Amino acid sequence: MKLATVGSVAFDAIETPFGKTDKIVGGAGTYIALASSFFVKQQSLISVVGEDFPQEVLAELESKGVDISGVEIKHGEKTFFWSGRYHNDLNSRDTLVTELNVLADFKPVVPAQAQNAPFLMLGNLSPDVQLSVIQQMQQRPQLIAMDTMNFWMDIALDSLKETLKHIDVLIINDEEARQLSGVYSLRKAANIIREMGPSILIIKKGEHGALLFHESNMFYAPALPLEEVFDPTGAGDTFAGGFMGYLAAADRIDFDNMKRAIIAGSALASFCVEKFGTQRLKEVTHPELQARMQEFVSLSTFQL
């Protein structure tokens, strides 16, 4: 198993200026696994769903090389449900409903075949739950990445700081980086956050791309300006899944590969937002992905 991911598998109901959905399949773990499956043929997803979750969706993940033996199905219980409404700019959203259901007392169990995975992705969950997954690994993975959000900074800062000591890559947005570091300059924030544990920091800036910091190196990846953004849900998770999947497949974690991995994540995220939920991500072909990665090259190379 190249990559192990822990993250939510969920039902989402989404409202954007272009329309709304009934309950559709979402969840950070779902987006991460779908995105990384473009690069990694053997990966494990660790999550929990209720008995209301469609078996076909799990089977579809399995068909893409995702081992789902770590996805617990809780009989008599309901799947995590999240609902959000995007504002007209599509950059901000309000959470309308969060029904934790099976996620309320989620205690992930890493299956034996995933305990030696060299790459570990911790989707946005409580920092204690994220740490419990690291502790179940038989040997320290080569690369541990994690996502988090301001909610955990507000209610569980001490636990978050403890988990940060055990990881290599933190993937957060600019607002979260400012809150975690207490400073406005993202360059200063990057130094402060990297002193907390992760040697690599990725700061996502939504439609303005992402910054990568490692040692004294810095890289800026643009986001592809799209004619239409339909639904941004899961774009951050898709980015993280693409990044980790690319690195796990390349098996070399140098700065140049990290740059390529960021472009892979950005390209997949640019597809993700083109339709509601996971729909577009499931249709993308490898040639389409290659072509879009090439667009990023054209977008940002120049000669002096």
Strand partners, 4: 44, 120
The least CB distance from residue 135 to ligand AMP, in Å, is 20
Residue 233 sits in the site that holds ligand AMP (CB under 6 A) = yes
Residue 12 sits in the site that holds ligand AMP (CB under 6 A) = yes
Tell me the residue ranges of DSSP E strands in the chain: 3-6, 10-16, 19-20, 24-26, 43-50, 66-74, 81-86, 93-99, 119-122, 143-147, 169-173, 200-204, 210-214, 217-221
Provide the Cα torsion 16, 18, 22, 28; round to 10°. -50
- Taking the least distance from each CB to ligand AMP, the nearer of 26 and 245 is 26
Q: Is 104 exposed, middle or buried (0-12, 13-18, 19+ CB in 10 A)?
A: exposed
Binding mask 116-145 for ligand AMP (x = CB under 6 A): --------xx--------------------
Among positions 155-184, residues that touch ligand AMP (CB under 6 A) are none
- Taking the least distance from each CB to ligand AMP, the nearer of 37 and 233 is 233
Window contacting ligand AMP (CB under 6 A); options: 45-53, 55-63, 128-136, 229-237: 229-237
Among 1, 16, 27, 35, indicate the residue that binds ligand AMP (CB under 6 A).
27
Among 236, 241, 245, 265, indicate the residue that binds ligand AMP (CB under 6 A).
236
Strand partners, 93: 86
CB 82 within 8 A of CB 96: no
- Taking the least distance from each CB to ligand AMP, the nearer of 237 and 253 is 237
CA 60 to chain centroid, in Å, comes to 19
Residue 67 sits in the site that holds ligand AMP (CB under 6 A) = no
Q: Which residues bind ligand AMP (CB under 6 A)?
A: 8, 10, 12, 26-28, 82, 98, 124-125, 233-237
